[in-house]
């Protein structure tokens, strides 16, 4: 092994702690109710976040997608890069700040505060049916395709986003 090369962990790794500069040569799963932090971690697969779990990501490189269903908290920050889509459904709290998402970002049926700021999203950003929470703030994002918002209560706020087209509740953002 070369000096500075991350240590490789096995495929389909379960995360219940903080992972630093390691290589996951496969998928990463955050089990029900667990908390996982990725700090400079490289993942050569997808990240799946289960119900009531927490994922905090800083400076990670994820080759695949990030998907969650019913997570308590998703926090994707500074210099994190995904190679595909980010799909966050039926969760509670979402913050995505300073990340690069190569595919689409979809926020659907979440019930807590959502903040999406200062990101580069190569595909589309879609916020749909997010209700009863602290609202959605979408600001200062570079979106390669469309910014689409519908059926959110309250309506999203923010501004200074660039996109090919802005639709629905996000047409003025």
Tens digit of each residue's pLDDT (9 = 90 or more) over 50-63:
999 999 999 999 99
DSSP state of 99: -
Predicted confidence band of residue 3 (pLDDT cuts 50, 70, 90): very low
How is the chain split into domains, by residue range?
Answer: 1-84, 108-173
pLDDT of 102 reads 97
pLDDT of 4 reads 46
Only one residue has tokens 């500075």, namely: 4
Q: How many CB atoms lie within 10 A of CB 65?
A: 20
Tens digit of each residue's pLDDT (9 = 90 or more) over 149-171:
999 999 999 999 999 999 999 99
What's the first-to-final CA gap in the chain, in angstroms?
49
**pLDDT beyond 60 at 39:** yes
């Amino acid at each position: 092994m070369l000096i500075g090369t991350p240590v490789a962990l096995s495929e389909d790794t379960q995360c219940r702690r903080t992972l630093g500069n390691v290589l996951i040569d496969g998928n990463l799963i955050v089990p029900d109710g667990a908390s996982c932090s990725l700090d400079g971690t490289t993942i050569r697969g997808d990240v799946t976040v289960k119900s009531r779990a927490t994922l905090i990501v800083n400076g990670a490189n994820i080759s695949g997608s990030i998907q969650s269903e019913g997570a308590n908290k998703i926090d994707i920050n500074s210099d994190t890069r995904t190679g595909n889509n980010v799909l966050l459904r039926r969760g509670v709290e979402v913050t995505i700040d300073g990340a690069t998402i190569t595919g689409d970002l979809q926020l659907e049926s979440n019930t807590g505060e959502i903040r999406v700021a200062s990101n580069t999203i190569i595909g589309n950003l879609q916020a749909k049916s997010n209700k009863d929470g602290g609202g959605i703030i979408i600001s200062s994002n570079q979106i390669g395709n469309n910014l689409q918002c519908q059926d959110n209560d309250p309506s999203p706020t923010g501004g200074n986003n660039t996109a090919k087209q802005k639709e629905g509740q996000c047409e003025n953002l």
